Structure 1
């Protein structure tokens, strides 16, 4: 595969959604007959032209995952797995997902999954707690939401 073909493929992928630098590098490496040197050239060109940005990628992912009802712990972990630097992760989470929004998101996710009725017993409360934990909400947010339900 030539540099131009690889560059055009990367642009097609970037036209569909934002990618983090490491994520795009890994995806380009999976293509047949592509050297690491070629991937590095293409990625550096995309970075120089500002077509590829970890900041935009992190902001887009935080917005999307927040809208899906996921908590900051889960979002942070996903961004770390995708190779986004810690400073970018923290600034994206701070700007787009303040704590009051986390409580609203947790409440919305809980009501969507279990309905608006409060848990009847300890077992039902634990089930809701575990659900919110899997969604990536921190303990304080979970306690506040469950207390508000009753």
Structure 2
């Protein structure tokens, strides 16, 4: 590896971060997938993180806002952040700062998918329940959304 490799790593990191926020874990995986030296990649990602170019908290906030717009629930969002190896402390802080009404979000998500018409039978009710469960809402949120329809 040469200084040119460091430049390639730095350019790649800059290009990736200019498009959207990335987690440290995600940046490292993308660099390694390009066949770059692991130790140099880890060092550069750490430098980017310490200089403020990359921030796991900013990434978590961005991902949370994006997933809320898509109508996804807390459980699914937390699981996705965990896949990106975001610490539980950051996840909890970001989720609590956003002050999301998960009950209303579940209701809006159900309404957007199925309209105002309530479920006609047990099978339809189960279909709606599974839909919200897949979206990451817990039982209380799902029950509230179903009762409000």
What TM bracket, shorter-length normalisation? over 0.9
For 1:17-57, what per-residue CA distance to the aligned partner results, in whole angstroms no more than 9, with x for missing partners? 0011111111111113x111110121121012101101000
Q: Distance in 2 between matches of 1:27 and 1:55?
A: 19
Q: Distance in 1 between matches of 2:38 and 2:143?
A: 48
Alignment partner, residue 22 of structure 1: 25
Q: Distance in 1 between matches of 2:21 and 2:76?
A: 19
Q: Distance in 1 between matches of 2:99 and 2:66?
A: 11
For 1:46-101, what per-residue CA distance to the aligned partner results, in whole angstroms no more than 9, with x for missing partners? 01210110100001101100110000000000000111111111111111243xx2
The secondary structure found in structure 1 opposite 2:136 is coil
Task: Show structure 1 runs of 4+ deviating over 4 A.
Answer: none
**Structure 1 unaligned residues grouped into runs of 5+:** none
Match for 1:7 among 6, 10, 15? Answer: 10
**Aligned ranges 1:74-85 → 2 under 5 Å:** 74-85=76-87
Alignment partner, residue 122 of structure 1: 122
* Number of equivalent positions: 146
Alignment partner, residue 92 of structure 2: 90
The secondary structure found in structure 2 opposite 1:78 is helix
TM-score, reference length from structure 1: 0.93
Alignment partner, residue 70 of structure 1: 72
The secondary structure found in structure 2 opposite 1:2 is helix
Alignment partner, residue 138 of structure 1: 138
Q: Distance in 2 between matches of 1:50 and 1:142?
A: 39
Displacement, 1:105? 1.6
Q: CA RMSD in A?
A: 1.1
Would you say the 8 A contact 2:107–2:144 is kept in 1? Answer: no
